[in-house]
Amino acid sequence: MRKHQILTIGECMVEMAPRQDEAYNRNFAGDSFNTAWYLRQLLPSDDQVGYCSAVGTDGISNAMLAFMQAAGIATQAVRRIPSRTVGLYMIELANGERSFSYWRGESAAKLLAEDRAFLSQAVAGQNLVLFSGITLAILSEPHRQQLLDVLRDARASGTTIAFDPNMRLRLWPDQQTMCDAVAKAAMVADIVLPSFDEDGPNYRDETPQATIERYKASGATCVVVKNGPGRVHAFSKDEGSVVFDPVPVETVVDTTAAGDSFNAGFLAARLSGASMVDAMTRGAFVSAQVIKSRGALVPLQI
Ligand code: ADP
């Protein structure tokens, strides 16, 4: 089979996860990176999975790059910005509930779309490029526009663009700005992978079908509306409307990266020519494993 090149674009952060003894484990995670990490596990070894972002030149930036490389992820598209470093978040546990504190104000990744030539070079020749609403949220408005311009050009040259709206209101000045930016970004995407618990309230979509129609109207040829444990509603140009019911997971431990890992399973299957139902089955199979363990990156039983 043909070798594929896949690139995901966004911010990977240092994650400080509490242990029993008040010490913390240091991990690396971030939505677009999590999807790359799972794609790397799911795809044949001769497919290339790369990450596009920016980091600093300090020790923790080097450690993050080394982690990516050890996971088999190509890092040529990670810019180095000496005056910056990587962002960090800390998970706090109180009575079993997780809350997050973030330090990402000056993270290098905010400049990932600063250099148009670098970005164009990064996406050139890729079969599939994925980005998300979080990727957009961290960029300045001119850089956001630059990223969309580069992706539009890539799409015109035959690259499939996948987009997960991943709407995080606290990363945006207000809801309207977020909804406008996500809607604009979706216009450059072939595949849109929203979650109904975010798109429903933000766009006042009454049903997942309404979410599908909105993204079809903006030019998507494939839309998959995830809904936690609920029914997945999807559409593809070739197969029309399709629904899929995930097998319920009884013992959910941590839903971090449920959507990111679903996206990886779904996209990996589609790259190998799977039908929509088979690809959603794969996505749900992967995310079911992920939510049964703690943390964003869970080694898979493939
Ligand atoms: P996101 O993390 O983007 O909000 P969702 O919560 O919608 O994503 O979940 C993504 C996928 O993970 C779902 O489509 C489903 O396959 C799986 N999933 C999530 N929660 C459960 C659950 N409780 N039981 C079974 N599968 C689940």
Query: 295 in a domain, yes or no?
Result: no
Query: 297 in a domain, yes or no?
Result: no
Query: 85 in a domain, yes or no?
Result: yes
Question: Is residue 149 annotated as a catalytic residue, yes or no?
Answer: no
Positive/negative CA dihedral, 285, 287, 292, 293: positive
Query: 189 in a domain, yes or no?
Result: yes
Query: 144 in a domain, yes or no?
Result: yes
Query: 300 in a domain, yes or no?
Result: no
Is the pLDDT confidence value at 130 over 90? Answer: yes
pTM (predicted TM-score): 0.97
Is the minimum distance from the CB of 227 to ligand 1 under 6 angstroms?
yes
Number of domains the chain contains: 1
CATH number of domain containing 220: 3.40.1190.20
Range of the domain at 250: 5-290
For ligand 1, mutation pick of 211, 291, 298 (most atoms within 8 Å of CB): 291
Query: 215 in a domain, yes or no?
Result: yes
> Looking at the predicted complex, does its ipTM rise above 0.85?
yes
Given a contact cutoff of 8 angstroms between Cβ atoms, the answer to whether 7 and 122 are in contact is yes
Mean pLDDT of 120-127: 98
Query: 146 in a domain, yes or no?
Result: yes
Given a contact cutoff of 8 angstroms between Cβ atoms, the answer to whether 226 and 262 are in contact is yes
* Structure confidence by residue, pLDDT tens digits, 58-81: 999 999 999 999 999 999 999 999
88-94 and 97-103 strand pairing = antiparallel
Give distance in angstroms: CA of 208 to centre of ligand 1. Answer: 15
* 35 Cβ contact list (under 8 Å, min separation 6): 8, 130, 164, 260, 261, 263, 264, 267
Given a contact cutoff of 8 angstroms between Cβ atoms, the answer to whether 286 and 38 are in contact is yes
Give distance in angstroms: CA of 262 to centre of ligand 1. Answer: 8
* Alpha-carbon span 262 to 284, nearest angstrom: 6
Calculate ∠ Cα 287-291-293, nearest 5°: 125
Mean pLDDT of 109-122: 98
